[in-house]
Amino acid sequence: MVKLSVVIPCFNEEQTLRACLENLFDIADENLSLEIIIVDDCSTDQSFSIATELVENYSEIKLLRHERNKGKGAALRSGFAKATGDFVAVQDADLEYDPIDLKRLLIPLINDDADVVLGSRFLSTGAHRVLYFWHYMGNRFLTFLSNMFTDLNLTDMESGYKVFRRDVLQSINIEENGFGFEPEIVAKVAHMRLRIYEMGISYHGRTYDEGKKIGLKDGFRALYCIFRYNAYRAPLPAQFLLYLLIGGCAAVINLIIFGIMLSSGLSLTISTLSAFIIAAVINYLLCILILFRHKARWNSWAEILIYVVIVGVVSLFDLEITKSLFKFGASPLLSKAVATAIVLILNFSGRRYFVFPEPTSGPWRSRGVAIRNE
């Protein structure tokens, strides 16, 4: 007998909640028992009353309620904490996803082939309601970007059907309160190098008139979450692309300061070193805030010392390249620009491998990898 905990985040779903529960109960059999956890996110319609009535009629249902609306991610966080099943699934309270698909998603988990199984609306040959083209393109773009930073090859990162081993799920610290939960959880299971499977599911999408809630601002939040939860653990190519933006900003500042100091009458050596050091500090702050560590240990003196040493070594390279090019007849500004471009790779290598050494995301690799809280 396998026990599946199904967490249902519910906000103003009085039209569909009862039918959703009935569909869920249909998948229970002699080999599968259910624990259903409804988390009412301070609904303003009759959803909570309906859920309360269902709890009285079915012992399998647990009901939680938020005193204020917090969002889907917060509702799931509350529900996951109360789950006791072998596996845990997410089920939206609407009727967009068919619970019969959950039985298929469980197979790789039951067979111990997977730690996480994601449903994909784009792999299935089942029924799909035809709806918004730009939503489809948005999902594809976000999935592509997420894959780039997680080193996974998912087809539907934003899918609402995700099933987990309970011990895996409860080891993850979920921070997002809203729809940012989807890219966050994908990022964190990728960091843990878990065995991730994907299977096709049917999809019966809703229009906005029928109660669909996700909007443009949620798309921008998903974009932000992809960067926030992935950048510091992204594969090398993705990190380097981001560093080109950060390094590019620092390089422009470097050149501007160099030009100002040189035109003020300072020597080439002083202008080069001063501009480099100022740009290096700005680069360091941007790396912490955007790329390598979004929760930096500001009190790590070893980290700062290593960084200072690397800056010192690279600044000497920068100075020597600038002076050498200048001696060969290049203008001071051109010499500095070429030197800045060359040391960009040295800067990135030093920060990536010495200042901010972090294992990258990627697919599961070893059965010995410990599950840890990200």
Residue 281, helix vs strand vs coil: helix
Looking at residue 314, what is its pLDDT? 85
Within this chain, do residues 346 and 267 fall inside the same structural domain, yes or no? Answer: yes
Strands (E), the chain: 2-10, 32-40, 61-65, 87-90, 116-120, 162-165, 196-200
Within this chain, do residues 258 and 223 fall inside the same structural domain, yes or no? Answer: no
Which of 105, 117, 98 is CA-nearest to residue 164?
117
Find out whether 278 and 257 touch, Cβ atoms under 8 Å. Answer: yes
Find out whether 331 and 268 touch, Cβ atoms under 8 Å. Answer: no
Is 250 a residue whose pLDDT tops 80?
Answer: yes
* Residue 215 φ/ψ, nearest 5 degrees: -135, -170
Which of 10, 13, 27, 111 is CA-nearest to residue 65?
10
Q: Decide if 363 is inside a domain.
A: no
CATH number at residue 226: 3.90.550.10
Q: Decide if 367 is inside a domain.
A: no
Strands of the sheet containing 196-200, edge to edge, are 61-65, 32-40, 2-10, 87-90, 162-165, 116-120, 196-200
Domain boundary among 186, 212, 233: 233
Pairing of strands 162-165, 87-90: antiparallel
pLDDT in tens, 149-177: 999 999 999 888 999 999 999 999 999 99
pLDDT in tens, 305-350: 887 888 788 888 888 998 999 888 889 888 888 888 887 788 788 7
Domain boundary among 210, 233, 256: 233
CA pair distance 102, 110, nearest whole angstrom: 12
Within this chain, do residues 181 and 276 fall inside the same structural domain, yes or no? Answer: no
Higher pLDDT, 219 or 187: 187
Q: Decide if 372 is inside a domain.
A: no
Q: Which amino acid is at 245?
A: L
**Residue numbers of the domain that contains 343:** 236-355
Within this chain, do residues 243 and 332 fall inside the same structural domain, yes or no? Answer: yes
Residue 10, helix vs strand vs coil: strand
DSSP state of 32: E
Within this chain, do residues 204 and 258 fall inside the same structural domain, yes or no? Answer: no
Within this chain, do residues 68 and 108 fall inside the same structural domain, yes or no? Answer: yes
Is 353 a residue whose pLDDT tops 90?
Answer: no
Q: Decide if 360 is inside a domain.
A: no
pLDDT in tens, 219-241: 788 888 998 888 888 888 888 88
What is the number of structural domains in the chain? 2
Within this chain, do residues 227 and 249 fall inside the same structural domain, yes or no? Answer: no
pLDDT in tens, 45-78: 999 999 999 999 899 999 999 999 999 999 999 9
